[in-house]
Amino acid sequence: MATDVRARRRQRGGPAAPAAVRGGTHHLVVLVAAALAILLSATVLAALAALADHSVESAVQRRLTGDPDTAVDVMGAYRAQDMAAGDTAVRASLDRVFGDVPHRTYTALRAPASLSSEYSVVRDDGTATGTSTVVIALPDPAGHARLISGSWPKATGGGPVQVALTQVAAARLGLGVGSTFRLQVGLQRMAMTLSGSYLPATADPGVLAGLTSSFGTTDSLAMIAPGAFTALPGITADAVAAWFAAPDTSRLHLGQIGPLRDRVARFSSSDTAISVFRNEPPALARVFTTSGLPDVLDALSAPMAVARAGMYIPAALLAALATAALALTARQLAQARATEIALRGARGAGTARLVAAAAAQWALVAVPAAMAAPFLAGPLLAGLHRAGLLHGDIPSSGATAVGWTAALLALAVHGVAVLVPTARQAADHRAGMRLRLRGARAAAFQRAGTDVALAAVAVAGWLELRHYRTPVAGGGVSGTSVDPVLILTPVLMTAAATLLSLRLLPLTAPLIDRAARRAAGFVLPLGGWQIGRRAARHTGPALLMTLALAVGALGVTALAILDRSAHDQAAFDVGGDLRVAAPAQSVGAVPPTAQRHGVYAALPGATAVTPVTDLPLNRGQQALSAEGVNTSAATGAQGSGGGGTLPAIRPDLTGEPAAGLLAGLGAAIPDHGFTVPGRPAELPLTVRLSAGGRGPYVPVVLTVSVEDADGLPDHLTVRLPVTDGTPYDVRVPLTFAGHAGAARHYPLRIIGLSLSIRFPHVRRDYRLEIGSDAAPQGALWRDLSNPVYSRAGCDGYRTAMETAPGPHLCTSKRVPGQLFSGTLRGPDPAVWPPRWDMTLGPVPAAGQPPVPALADATLQATGEFDTGAVVALNGGPGVDITVKVIGRITAVPGFDRSHGRLLVDSRAMAAALIATGNDPPSDDFWLLSTRHGDSGPAAAALRRDPAAGTGTTVPQAARRTADDPLRRGTHAALVLALVLAPAFAVVGFTLHTAMSARQRRGEFALLRAIGVRKRQLAALLWTEQLGLALLAVVVGTALGAALAVVVTPLVSVDATGAPIVPGLTVTVPWLKVAAVAVGTALLIVTAVTALARTFARVDLVRVLRAGDEG
């Protein structure tokens, strides 16, 4: 009767729920926990996948935007009648090359047709300017350049042709809007008038760069209107039509890059009769194709791989954490259903039926959670972006292909973890008996040397990372790519270390027992007993919490290390507190090289200044460079409140104090040249100059070469009239017109003399004496223009045929007080081409010492540049330098590591070059040390005077490094690890506490029945769970910080995939790490406290009647 009544009641209440739904209500808590785990894991994985894909794609798009080599160029001979058909054929071929890649095609006209030719620019008076240009015509000039002054040229139909020049070219020629000049086009001089000046636009896809000559720059482009171009027969007779197709980088996807690169590479080296005209009669003559796009895309291979590796490592750690969370909830769900499955199996239910029922119950909650995850990934990332934790461009949604893949993968992992144990239990007919067996297999597993195996995995992973030192692999068919083994190695190390840390879990019970002996009541003793009794049940949650805290602590520590590394790399790239690029000779009062030391030393806060010189050399087939600095600036930087040595060298780059090594480079500068006493504003000379022969004399132009205290050369020119030998005074000015107060860097040395005798009437001998205080002991000189000395033709050595047609030295003798005393043979005016000039150098002392140098790691790896080695180097004809390696330096600050480099003193290198008869190198850039490292005032002063140079500070370089899109993805992935890993710990442990309390309702009812109060019962649950949680928090935090210290330096690489130089400074931000641990612990305490109070309320009658496990 009762059964019939229940049946009638169900019928009156409506249709019965599906069996899967009715069965699932018994495990509602466990199923909800599984759904939450899937939702959290799938959301995190979808967000990571979408972020990784979007970060690399947006970084590639940004790097390609404005790159002048991204266009595909097609050029052919210009003929007006061919343009329509040629345009159609070329555009169609470019459409085939780009395929599904969005692109735009630009057109232009260029003259002359040869890319190795330019037109000479001539002034209105017919004199040459020494510059040349290329004439171009663009349909839309504003799309490729920015107008600075005047207007764009127009076709006038008569008179001078309107033309626009770059601002630099106009300033160099001294032209303003309305100025006129001429172009030498063949035999014709074409009149031009300047309509305006422009600067190339940064977003130009390479059209202007593609129109330049093979030896010119965009400054050599003269732009006229297309109508004017086609109306000039002299121009169109030797012109080309050009098409430039460039990809729309804002819509370029990663999957399109490889195929596009291959198609462009084939097209740029193809037979245009086939690739452009498809074997049809060519519409244009002399068509050729070029493109730098394949090389540009190849160059992005390594940065893309580095960016992916930087994101994949924290993503893999979070994926491992998500897998642990999924496995834990799947295990709890399987355990909750174990009794039911065993009972239904004993009653005759088949395996397929049991598995299908379990799968239906699981799918009802798991599938909706997984489907919702990609849509929640976008709001998650947006929330972190609004909170200031993520920077830059982020994906708006995780519902992308990679996002869905990640979510479905999480769903599949959880499904396998749930259904495989269910199927095994359903197929095991003795499952009911096994439920009461103890976990002997787990104990046997522990006795089988698991600890040793886990330790071996961790150590082997560390050795693997230490051996390769980079997570990217170079070479191969696909170029640089991510090495998946090295990406997973940190994950394996973290997992192995976390599993080993579980050995500390049994220590919780003794600690609680020790505290219990000092406390009254039974809560602490019972809590410790429960932890020891249920250790196996706590293993999974403890593993999840420890792993989560380890990932979070690893994330915050790695972020701190990488942020410090970004600053260190910026300081290394800059080379000092402030780096000043040598100013371009364009617009404004540019200080000459000899005045720059004074200009920069006068900047606010500057304590030391040094130029940096760059001298290309080679050792056999190996190319290298010698980088020179004035090492005396290092002492000035340290002694004047500066930020350290100059250049800024970290101690780990040299293995010993850098100041001592720098001092060694400049310890013994060889005496060379003739020192000018004092700090004169002019160089006084007493000259006696006479000449033989008949006819009028032409003046002799004397150039005095001086070297300043930095080892930089300068050349001062004066005119010397020829007299009968009567002495006269000449004063060579040493001051400058601009930048008042900025003088030369004294003391000065005279290192060379040059004489120029232009357009003489006859060849004659000259007698020259130059008196100067710089040579109190006199001076001897050698002829550098005629290294093979010959006195033929000199007075007393007349011959019918002179072997030296140009001017040459006859005699030189040392006379006290005379800078020069000797005779010269003048040039032969009948020789063509004429040779008017002669260069003299001081006779070097015998036994020149080698130049002290520090060799970088690249050179030392060759085995020829070990410390103490003396190496002969060559810098070209007549440039033979010997260096002695006095120490090592990992890399030279301020320079890349594209090839080997030496660090030398610029003064020592100048002395060595002068001894070989060569000028010292000029400045490449300048380094400044500022008071207390504050370079802001000096940089601000440079911005107010842009003609003095462009300054770069360490903070500016650090911001550029941090803003690099390819680096930003790594930072974002680590932020996600830092923020979301503790969330796994809180959610996972909260679910564990709730399920554990639910399973122990019978135990709690018994305790309440024997008189235990609700507050004591809550305290018991609180003690058990928090004892376990706090141990996991402490162990996981310490473990994560330690792993970050070990792993981060081994997997961090630069944009080329090489280890970062300077190496990472490993520091643990203990305050931030502690904040993460304390914050996670507080959240867990709050959750456990609430759950403890909830589950302490037990309905004794209902629970005790339902049975032990309810």
The CATH number of domain 70-108+239-256+270-291 is 1.10.3210: no
CB 641 within 8 A of CB 931: yes
Write out the H or E segment, with its range, that includes residue 424. Answer: helix 401-427
CA dist 91 and 99 (Å) reads 12
Distances 858 to 559, 862, 899 between C-alpha atoms, Å: 29, 7, 7
Residue with tokens 């650090």: 958
- Per the structure block, which two tokens stand in for 525? 């003793």
CA dist 852 and 885 (Å) reads 6
> Each residue of 1005-1036: b (16+ CB within 10 Å) or e?
bbbbeeebeeebbbbbbbbbbbbbbbbbbebb
900-905/622-629 β-pairing: parallel
Task: Using DSSP, state whether 694 is helix, strand or coil.
Answer: coil
CB 1075 within 8 A of CB 493: no
Tell me how far the alpha carbon of residue 56 is from its chain's centroid.
Answer: 14
Q: Point out which residues pair with 611 in neighbouring strands.
A: 926
CA angle 66, 70, 71 (to 5 degrees): 110
Backbone angles phi, psi at 648, to 5 degrees: -75, 110
Please provide the DSSP assignment of 42-96 as one string. HHHHHHHHHHHHHHHHHHHHHHHTT-TT-PEEEEEE--GGGHHHHHHHHHHHHHH
**Confidence at residue 636, expressed as pLDDT on a 0 to 100 scale:** 57
* Rg of the chain taking only CA atoms, in angstroms: 41
For residue 647, is the peptide bond before it cis, meaning its omega torsion is within 30 degrees of 0?
Answer: yes
CB 544 within 8 A of CB 1035: no
Distances 844 to 279, 666, 779, 1103 between C-alpha atoms, Å: 69, 19, 11, 106
Q: How would you write 858-893 as a 3-class SS string?
A: HHHCCCCCCCCCEEEEECCCCCEEEEEEEEECCCCC
Cβ neighbours of residue 683 closer than 8 Å, sequence gap 6 or more: 676, 704, 706, 716, 731, 732, 734, 772, 774
Report CA dihedral (343, 344, 348, 352) to the nearest 10 degrees.
-130
Amino acid at 252: L
- Per the structure block, which two tokens stand in for 100? 């599904």
CA dist 511 and 531 (Å) reads 11
Distances 746 to 330, 599, 606, 649, 777 between C-alpha atoms, Å: 80, 14, 18, 26, 21
CA dist 713 and 716 (Å) reads 10
Sign of CA dihedral 209, 213, 216, 219: negative
CA dist 787 and 790 (Å) reads 9
CB 147 within 8 A of CB 199: no
**Confidence at residue 476, expressed as pLDDT on a 0 to 100 scale:** 46
* Helix ranges (DSSP H) in 593-642: 593-601, 632-639
Distances 486 to 463, 490, 493 between C-alpha atoms, Å: 11, 7, 11
Task: Using DSSP, state whether 1100 is helix, strand or coil.
Answer: helix
CA dist 493 and 732 (Å) reads 72
Task: Using DSSP, state whether 462 is helix, strand or coil.
Answer: helix
Q: Residue 151 carries which DSSP code?
A: -
**pLDDT tens digit sequence for 873-882:** 999 888 999 9
Starting at the edge strand found earlier in the chain, the sheet holding 808-812 runs 728-733, 682-691, 765-771, 818-825, 808-812
**pLDDT tens digit sequence for 559-604:** 999 988 888 999 999 999 999 987 655 444 678 889 899 999 999 9
Please provide the DSSP assignment of 768-824 as one string. EEEE-TT-TT---EEESS-SS---TTSTT---SS-S--S-EEEEE---TTEEEEEEE
Tell me how far the alpha carbon of residue 753 is from its chain's centroid.
Answer: 46
**Confidence at residue 435, expressed as pLDDT on a 0 to 100 scale:** 46
Sign of CA dihedral 422, 424, 426, 432: negative
CA angle 395, 400, 406 (to 5 degrees): 105
Q: Residue 26 carries which DSSP code?
A: G
* Domain assignments of the chain as residue spans, ordered by start: 2-52+302-566+964-1106, 70-108+239-256+270-291, 114-233, 583-672+848-948, 680-743+750-795+804-842
**Confidence at residue 481, expressed as pLDDT on a 0 to 100 scale:** 80
Number of helices followed by number of strands (H, E) in the chain: 34, 33
Q: Point out which residues pair with 193 in neighbouring strands.
A: 162, 180
Please provide the DSSP assignment of 330-346 as one string. HHHHHHHHHHHHHHHHH
Residues of the chain with pLDDT under 70: 1-29, 336-343, 345-350, 428-449, 474-479, 505-538, 583-589, 635-644, 787-793, 796-804, 992-993, 995-1026, 1091-1110
Query: Does the predicted model carry a pTM greater than 0.85?
Result: no
CA dist 649 and 637 (Å) reads 12
CA dist 690 and 723 (Å) reads 5
- Per the structure block, which two tokens stand in for 609? 């200044």
CA angle 365, 333, 981 (to 5 degrees): 80
Task: Using DSSP, state whether 1069 is helix, strand or coil.
Answer: coil
Residue with tokens 């735009």: 104
CA dist 27 and 34 (Å) reads 11
- Per the structure block, which two tokens stand in for 781? 């000189």
